[in-house]
Chain A
Amino acid sequence: MSAGVDRVAAAFTRAREENRAALVGYLTGFDPDRAGSLERIFAACEGGLDVLELGVPFSDPTADGPTIQAAMTRALASGASVAGALALAAEIRRRFELPIVLFSYANPLISYGPERLSRETAEAGADALLVVDLPPEHAEVLRGPASARGLGWVGLVAPTTTPNRRARVLGASSGFVYAVSLTGVTGAPLNPGDPALHAGLATLRSASSLPIVVGFGVRKAEDVRALAGHADGVVVGSALVEAGQRGPAALGELVKTLRAGTLRA
């Protein structure tokens, strides 16, 4: 069985063969607590996620909107830690084959020790890192050790990114590239039919052979449907976290509807 960046690639290949976009779902580890988050993540995986973004909580998540901020605060209050999140990843891996991307901020990960983090991430069966406040200029500290372990490094391209910067982000990325859909934080309102957004995705597509996922503000199946033809994957975060607050069943249901939206016409 493949692992790391290969497992990520395989998930996108499979979705493409099924003529659909991959459904990438974000949930925060330890929200509302360890057991509760596992239940919710299992329900989401069973509902049909293709890729899981597992949030490793940070006290000061400046790129996140109120929903994910609050989830991280709840998670820290119930004892979340980097080691705890890695143990969660290992438990998820025992039950599911989907790629797991650790989503976090630089400080908790670097503080854990880049070598140790990379080794234990690979051992847990997680496959890639997405660190929102580590632009390519500063990424080497984690990206180097992670790449050495076969882990992917997910770079972000924003609507504000210049062509020069885009090349730099793509050069540092492996596994897939994350196209931020809007100029703002996670959970902000998005118009998924915006021609400028579609044009940006087309430009990015022509600049890279990596799978491209689009996210921030995607909430409903119709949002996913509107974007499925413009990217290799669509990310849903805040909406999943909110559904999770209504319980694992509600979350599983939402994932099923979102998954139905990934089919390309």
Chain B
Amino acid sequence: MTAAPHSEDDNPLRGPPELLGEFGEFGGRYVAETLMPAVEELAREWPKAWADYAFVDEYRAILRDYVGRPTPLTEARRLPAAIGGGRIFLKREDLNHTGAHKINNCIGQVLLARRLGKTRIIAETGAGQHGVATATACAYFGMPCTVYMGAEDVSRQALNVVRMRLLGAEVRPVTSGSATLKDAINAALRDWVASVADTHYVIGSVMGPDPYPLMVRELQRVIGDEARAQILDRIGRLPDAAVACVGGGSNAMGLFAAFVPDKEVRLFGVEATGEGLQGRHAATMAKGRIGVFHGMRSLVLQTDDGQLLEAHSISAGLDYPGIGPEHAHLHATGRARYLGISDREALAATELLARTEGIIPALETAHAIAALPQVIAELGPEAVVIVNVSGRGDKDMHTVMTHLDPATLALIAEAERERKAARAAHHGATGSHPGEEALIVDGHELRADGKEGA
């Protein structure tokens, strides 16, 4: 850990940077006074918990017996031929319980909340993956859970709303602002300001006020620690590069954490350029400016006047106008590089990984896959690369369907027409009335335009 335990008794107005959880010039605790004591308590108690064998053992046991860790490191068999070579190792966070890396963090934070005597959990969610993971951890520990979700995302990610509610969580749609992830975080912060006495806020990425960026990185570093041991075991040396997509940056920091000290390992974060840098995007590294947002000083997509811009990515999990402060630091110091991948490239990479490896990645993950050709072109066809498969793509099938695959839509429409014709013929024969029926797939009514029916 980079930060020393914090003390509330340090009296100077501005203590040394490590006392405020700063990564170079980034990080800090920019929150309303009401929340400062809670944030200080977390900053004091988190390092104690993380240094406590009983706590860490319980966390690791749950990751093993419930989440399904360690996750495999799968060497890609047919992908390299399609991307210019390389030996590509896929770190399979998609195989975690609930289908993404998010659960590593949620188990740890809910354990910590219990240790601190908190009796209620709140969280924000964009794609719904962090919400599902938090709801899951709360079901596991028997804690009440409220998840804030932008109204836009509630409709984009309806299946995850159903999952959260099945898991017993209350989902509160947020209609203020752009009604997406940043507004869900605003709403969760407002809840926390009022409920801080008994409530812990499980932030879903390496962002927010200190100690969250540090704590979430430590709870995700199991990804990198496992991957490092696995690659050494497999090929007897470190990889040439580690690659991961970056929304807030937790799956990337989790992977990078183990390799940051290994200077020979290049680190590549991949952010979403959406419709392109001239259009709507979520490219915080490329287009952001230093600002103070959601409790941290970091790079932020904002107007000249300091108002936040709405981010856009086809993947709801990357649709965020900020980035974790440690990434801003790795970027500023040159230790990591950040590449951009568009919506279209991510969709193509989803199909590529599915067809070459039999793995359907989350659209977030697909951004990392799509950046591989550039990484291989730079490092050469002999390069060994670990890429984090941060999540599986089931949650995105609806988006993929509407964007990617007219052929699938045509197939479904054709089947529906044939079925209706057959029913009409049957009803015609029996004299009963044919109803307007849609095809039911996976509990969802599908229409030929790919939109969900009522």
* Interface residues, chain A, with chain B CB atoms under 8 Å away: 57-63, 65-66, 69-70, 73, 76, 81-83, 105-112, 132-140, 155-162, 164-165, 167-169, 171-172, 180, 183-185, 188
Chain A, Cβ-Cβ closest to B305: A81
Chain A proximity mask over B162-206: 1 for CB below 8 Å, otherwise 0: 000000000000001100001100100110011011000000000
B292 partner, pick from A65, A107, A168, beta carbons under 8 A:
A107
Q: Is the CB of B305 within 8 A of A112?
A: yes
Q: Is the CB of A160 within 8 A of B186?
A: no
Chain B, Cβ-Cβ closest to A171: B13
**Bound-state Cα–Cα, A156 to B307, Å:** 23
Within 8 A of A (CB), among B23-46: 28-38, 40
Q: Contacts A82-B305, A108-B306, A111-B291 known; A135 to B31 CB distance under 8 Å?
A: yes
**Bound-state Cα–Cα, A105 to B177, Å:** 16
Q: Is the CB of B306 within 8 A of A112?
A: yes
Q: Is the CB of A60 within 8 A of B186?
A: yes
**Bound-state Cα–Cα, A76 to B307, Å:** 9
Q: Which residues of A contact B193 (CB under 8 A)?
A: 62-63, 183-185
Chain B, Cβ-Cβ closest to A164: B8
B15 at the interface (CB under 8 A from A): yes
Q: Which residues of A contact B38 (CB under 8 A)?
A: 160
CB distance from A183 to the nearest CB of B (A): 6
Chain A, Cβ-Cβ closest to B297: A138
A73 partner, pick from B29, B177, B291, B302, beta carbons under 8 A:
B177
Q: Which residues of B contact A158 (CB under 8 A)?
A: 32-34, 36
B137 at the interface (CB under 8 A from A): no
**Bound-state Cα–Cα, A180 to B28, Å:** 23
B308 at the interface (CB under 8 A from A): yes
Chain B, Cβ-Cβ closest to A172: B13
B316 at the interface (CB under 8 A from A): no
Known: A156-B32, A165-B40. 15 other contacts (CB 8 A): A57-B307, A59-B307, A65-B190, A66-B176, A82-B306, A107-B302, A108-B307, A110-B292, A135-B29, A137-B15, A158-B36, A159-B34, A160-B196, A162-B8, A185-B194
Q: Contacts A65-B190, A172-B13 known; A111 to B305 CB distance under 8 Å?
A: yes
B88 at the interface (CB under 8 A from A): no
B11 at the interface (CB under 8 A from A): yes
CB distance from A160 to the nearest CB of B (A): 5
CB distance from A170 to the nearest CB of B (A): 11
- The 5 tightest CB contacts between A and B, nearest first, are A111-B306, A108-B306, A184-B194, A158-B34, A106-B292
**Bound-state Cα–Cα, A139 to B14, Å:** 8
Q: Contacts A140-B14, A183-B196, A183-B197 known; A169 to B33 CB distance under 8 Å?
A: yes
Q: Which residues of B contact A83 (CB under 8 A)?
A: 305
Q: Contacts A138-B29, A165-B8 known; A183 to B305 CB distance under 8 Å?
A: no
Q: Which residues of B contact A155 (CB under 8 A)?
A: 33
Q: Is the CB of B32 within 8 A of A132?
A: yes
CB distance from A102 to the nearest CB of B (A): 14
Q: Most chain-A Cβ atoms within 10 A of its Cβ — which of B29, B34, B182, B186?
A: B34
Q: Which residues of B contact A62 (CB under 8 A)?
A: 32, 186, 189-190, 193, 294
**Bound-state Cα–Cα, A135 to B292, Å:** 13
Q: Can you report 13 A-B residue pairs in the complex whose CB atoms are below 8 A from each other?
A: A58-B307, A63-B34, A82-B305, A105-B292, A108-B306, A111-B304, A137-B20, A138-B28, A160-B196, A161-B33, A162-B37, A164-B11, A171-B13
**Bound-state Cα–Cα, A33 to B182, Å:** 25
Within 8 A of A (CB), among B234-250: none
CB distance from A196 to the nearest CB of B (A): 13
CB distance from A65 to the nearest CB of B (A): 7
Q: Most chain-A Cβ atoms within 10 A of its Cβ — which of B38, B40, B193?
A: B193
**Bound-state Cα–Cα, A133 to B36, Å:** 10
CB distance from A164 to the nearest CB of B (A): 5
